[in-house]
């Protein structure tokens, strides 16, 4: 206990986590939902900027906050797929989807698909896709909550997940979309503050410029007058790695992955539903803009952190004695995020690219190096970054609060999609159309509660394939929802037969391709030479989308056009006037 | 065809025109500058950045933000001009 009290970082972390959780719960009590309309779309009266903040928190998950900068720091240019892919989708959302779906004025994505294609089959396909995508995603978030708890507060992952479940349970079940919206605003503030403060500090330390977006393209302030990126490229070359600013992956694959992530983002149901919460079509458009501004703050800072962290890491560990490592090294080694094996027994840490045969032959072997000795987990680049840069304890503690905010906000948004899909799209629209508003609300709360327990279970016992199926969530959204919605708005002639055939073709193709390469064949077979047109399973959703569109168009022209009232519906969603608040009728 | 219908057609046509111009820019800055023409652009530098790399990790995102606000501005004006805006 005494040791705990002396641990300043731990005290700061506990204080910040308790404080932020208190705020979330306070907001939730203030914003309780009293009707299905408040539960599903926060009453439809959310200010566009507030919705933008909530969308940004909804969208930026534990992966964006904790993992992305680390992934990019190891991938260099190839990591750009995440930066462009996860922001470019908002242009599609704000220009092609949000205003029209807002005018349509219902509660969910399956609602739109079901009504536009006047078919319960189409509605059911959309419903199943929404559930699969959301469950896939939410398991990862709960896991993220557990990991942050275990690393920063030294409790078991299980305990961490249960605490996270309890907090989300409180505001999602009680407050529905209304509670979620306003807690997400608070969570956005926490996560962006936690992400930016270390970035400002480190940027200033390394380059003398406070703005990280400028700093990582600036000169080092160590008197060398060398650009930071030049220094990093030099360090990487010395260790046999590829230059940071040139890619390794094929351009075709980069293209397809970026497209799959963009289109997938625009098709994710928990992001789309956020645009149902604003009062007018006009607000839906601008709200997409605010969301992207707020997301871009993090997404343009992340690549800067990647460069700072990779440079700092190499300069700290490369060819140094393990005995001389700073405190953070030992701490993170305990959590196994850093692993060191002294293969040649010289007591020094040799960190280099042992896959580069030329480098191994010409540099490593003559020096007596017997393989890369250091394994660094990608998450450490953000989690340990403040410590690596020697920042004050309260900054280190902030990262924990920010990581939790990002995971909880995304988990809540996903849980809402799951509960709405069950209570609204399944119970109300298909099984019990005459259910009362009170009864439907009860179902929504019940479904949210059950979903939290399932998500918590997967958080504690993660299936080994969580990382693999994230690609699947985007691929599925890209190959199913996106084309069906776009064609539904921009192509009046599109009918049920076309849309259903297209969605099924897109899903089967994408699903089959990912399953085949990720689960059926051995990892050695999952290489560019065996892929279709050099497209990796991560990027195949783009091809799935194209297949969906082609099949939709062909089948649509072999079958009769949609009825007049559906064509009138399409006509009406194209013009903003007359958009009432999102409703049931 | 009534004037009302013709008006609506003209409105929709303008909307599609805006969309095609803005989405072309969207495609050029990301898929063009950041991916397809990466090597050519990387021969130029912007401060410490290679230009293509800068587009892929910074520039494209800034342009995305601007595109949305330009679209909002254009559509709000168009809605008023054709009298289809929300009152």
Q: What is the spatial distance between Cα A244 and Cα A234, in angstroms, rounded to a whole number?
A: 9
B23: chain A residues, CB-CB within 8 Å: 91, 95
Tell how strand B45-46 and strand A338-340 pair up: unpaired
DSSP A523: G
pLDDT in tens, B17-64: 999 999 999 999 999 888 888 888 888 888 888 888 899 899 999 999
CB A477 within 8 A of CB A113: no
Per the CB < 8 A criterion, the answer to whether A10 and A4 are in contact is yes
Q: Which residue has the higher pLDDT, A332 or A465?
A: A332
User: Is residue A472 situated within a structural domain?
Assistant: yes
User: Quick one: pLDDT at residue A255?
Assistant: 92
Answer whether residue A270 is part of any domain: yes
Mean pLDDT value across chain A: 83
Number of domains in chain B: 1
Set of chain B residues whose Cβ sits within 8 Å of the Cβ of A77: 38, 53, 56-57
Query: B5 and chain A: CB distance < 8 Å anywhere?
Result: no
| Residue A328 falls inside a structural domain | no
B47/A218 CB distance under 8 A:
yes
For residue A462, what are its two tokens? Answer: 């993660």
Continuous segment of H or E residues that includes residue A339: strand A338-340
For A274-310, write each residue's pLDDT tens digit: 888 888 888 888 898 999 999 999 999 999 999 988 8
> Average pLDDT of A78-82?
89
**Does a structural domain hold residue B41?**
yes
| Number of domains chain A contains | 1
Q: Is residue A78 part of a domain?
A: yes
* Closest by Cβ to B71, choosing from A255, A285, A296: A285
Mean pLDDT of A330-345: 78
What CA–CA distance (Å, rounded) separates A104 from A270? 17
Specify whether the CB–CB gap between A70 and A332 falls below 8 A: no
| A167 CB-near residues (< 8 Å, 6+ apart) | A21, A24, A25, A408
Quick one: pLDDT at residue A5?
A: 47
Q: What is the pLDDT of residue A464?
A: 54
Q: Tell whether the model's pLDDT for residue A584 goes beyond 70.
A: no
Residue A513 belongs to domain spanning: 2-313+387-573
Mean pLDDT confidence for B71-79 = 90
Q: Is ipTM strictly over 0.85?
A: yes
Q: Tell me the per-residue pLDDT of A489-502, one tens digit each, with 9 for 90 and over.
A: 999 888 999 999 99
Partner residue opposite B71 with nearest CB, options A95, A213, A219: A95
Q: For residues A406 and A375, is the Cβ–Cβ distance under 8 A?
A: no
For chain B, say whether A505 makes contact (Cβ under 8 Å): no
Which of A245, A254, A574 is closest, CB to CB, to B35?
A254
Cα A241 to Cα A250: distance, rounded to the nearest angstrom = 17
Q: Which two tokens stand for residue A460?
A: 């504690």
Residue B68 within any structural domain of the chain: yes
pLDDT at A465 over 60: no
What CATH number has the domain bearing residue A123?
Answer: 1.20.1730.10
Distance from CA of B40 to the nearest CA of A (A): 12
B11 found inside a domain = yes
Phi first, then psi: what are they for B45, rounded to 5°? -125, 155
Residues of B in contact with A90 (CB under 8 A): 64, 68
Q: Decide if A217 contacts A228 (C-beta within 8 A).
A: yes
> Is residue A449 in a domain?
yes
Most confident stretch, A185-199, A230-244, A542-556: A542-556
- A582 pLDDT band, cuts 50/70/90, is low
User: Residue A247 phi/psi, 5° resolution?
Assistant: -85, 165
A481-490 and A540-558 helices, crossing angle to 10°: 40
Whether the Cβ atoms of residue A313 and residue A232 lie closer than 8 Å to each other:
no
pLDDT given at position A268: 86
Cα A77 vs. chain centroid, distance in angstroms? 19
Instruction: Give me the mean pLDDT over the B54-82 stretch.
Output: 91
Q: Is residue B86 part of a domain?
A: no
* Alpha carbons A209 and A200: distance in angstroms, whole number: 8
| Percent of chain A at pLDDT exceeding 90 | 12
Chain B interface, best mutation among A49, A72, A88, A265, by max B CB count within 10 A: A88
Q: Is B80 exposed, middle or buried (0-12, 13-18, 19+ CB in 10 A)?
A: exposed
Can you give the pLDDT at residue A279? 82
Whether residue B9 lies inside any domain: the answer is yes
Check if B29 contacts A (Cβ < 8 Å). no
> Could you list the residue range(s) of the whole structural domain that residue B33 is in?
3-81
From B14's Cα to the closest Cα of chain A, the distance in A is 12
| pLDDT tens digit sequence for A527-565 | 777 777 888 888 888 999 999 999 999 998 898 888 988
Query: Does B56 contact A at CB distance below 8 Å?
Result: yes
Residue B48 belongs to a domain: yes
pLDDT band at A2 (very low <50, low <70, confident <90, very high): very low
């Amino acid at each position: 206990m005494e040791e705990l009290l002396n641990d300043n970082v731990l005290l700061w972390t506990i204080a910040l986590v308790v404080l932020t959780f208190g705020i979330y719960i306070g907001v939730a009590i203030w914003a309780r939902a009293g009707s299905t309309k408040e539960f599903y779309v926060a009453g439809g009266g959310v200010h566009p900027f507030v919705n933008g903040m909530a969308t940004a928190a909804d969208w930026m998950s534990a992966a964006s906050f904790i993992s992305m900068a680390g992934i990019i720091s190891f991938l260099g240019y190839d990591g750009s797929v995440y930066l462009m892919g996860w922001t470019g989708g908002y242009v599609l959302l704000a220009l092609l989807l949000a205003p029209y779906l807002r005018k349509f004025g219902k509660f969910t994505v399956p609602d739109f698909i079901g009504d536009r294609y006047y078919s319960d089959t189409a509605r059911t396909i959309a419903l199943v896709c929404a559930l699969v995508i959301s469950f896939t995603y939410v398991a990862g978030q709960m896991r993220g909550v557990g990991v942050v708890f275990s690393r920063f507060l030294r409790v078991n992952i299980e305990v961490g997940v249960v605490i996270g479940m309890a907090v989300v349970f409180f505001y999602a079940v009680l407050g529905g979309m209304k509670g979620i919206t306003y807690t997400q605003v608070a969570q956005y503030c926490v996560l962006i503050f936690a992400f930016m403060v270390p970035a400002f500090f480190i940027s200033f330390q390394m380059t003398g410029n406070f703005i990280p977006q400028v700093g990582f393209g600036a000169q080092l302030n160590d008197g060398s007058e060398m650009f930071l990126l030049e220094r990093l490229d030099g360090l990487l070359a010395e260790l046999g790695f590829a230059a940071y600013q040139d890619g390794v992956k094929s351009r075709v694959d980069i293209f397809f992955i970026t497209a799959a992530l963009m289109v997938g983002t625009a098709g994710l149901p928990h992001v789309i539903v956020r645009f149902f919460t604003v009062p007018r079509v006009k607000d839906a458009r601008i709200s997409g803009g605010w969301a992207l501004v707020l997301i871009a703050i993090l997404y343009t800072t992340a690549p800067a952190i990647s460069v700072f962290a990779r440079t700092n890491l190499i300069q700290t560990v490369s060819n140094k004695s393990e005995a001389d490592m700073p405190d953070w090294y030992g701490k993170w080694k305990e959590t196994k995020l850093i692993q060191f094996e002294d293969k040649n027994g010289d007591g020094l840490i040799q960190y280099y690219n042992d896959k580069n045969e030329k480098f191994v032959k010409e540099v490593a072997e003559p020096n007596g190096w017997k393989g890369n000795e250091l394994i660094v987990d990608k998450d450490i680049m953000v989690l340990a970054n403040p410590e690596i840069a020697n920042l004050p304890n309260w900054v280190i503690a902030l990262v924990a609060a920010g990581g939790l905010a990002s995971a909880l906000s995304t988990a809540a948004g996903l849980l809402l999609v799951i509960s709405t899909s069950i209570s609204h799209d399944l119970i109300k629209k298909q099984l019990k159309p005459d259910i009362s508003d009170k009864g439907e609300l009860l179902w929504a709360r019940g479904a949210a509660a059950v979903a939290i327990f399932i998500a918590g279970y997967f958080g504690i016992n993660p299936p080994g394939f969580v990382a693999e199926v994230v690609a699947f969530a985007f691929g599925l959204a890209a190959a199913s929802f996106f084309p069906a919605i776009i064609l539904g708005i921009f192509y009046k002639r599109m009918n049920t037969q076309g849309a259903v055939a297209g969605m099924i073709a897109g899903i089967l193709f994408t699903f089959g391709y990912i399953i085949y390469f990720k689960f059926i064949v051995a990892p050695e077979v999952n290489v560019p030479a065996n892929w279709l047109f050099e497209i990796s399973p991560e990027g195949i959703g783009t091809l799935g989308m194209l297949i969906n569109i082609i099949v939709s168009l062909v089948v649509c022209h072999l079958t009769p056009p949609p009825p007049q009232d559906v064509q009138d519906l399409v006509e009406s969603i194209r013009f903003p006037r007359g958009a009432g608040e999102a409703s049931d009728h | 065809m009534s004037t009302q219908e013709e008006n609506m057609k003209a409105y929709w046509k303008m909307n599609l025109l805006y969309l095609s111009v803005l989405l072309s820019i969207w495609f050029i800055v990301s898929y063009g500058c950041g991916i397809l023409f990466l090597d050519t652009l990387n021969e130029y530098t912007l401060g410490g950045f290679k230009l293509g790399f800068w587009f892929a990790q910074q520039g494209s995102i800034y342009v995305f933000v601007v595109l949305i606000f330009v679209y909002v501005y254009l559509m709000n004006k168009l809605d008023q001009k054709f009298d289809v805006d929300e009152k």
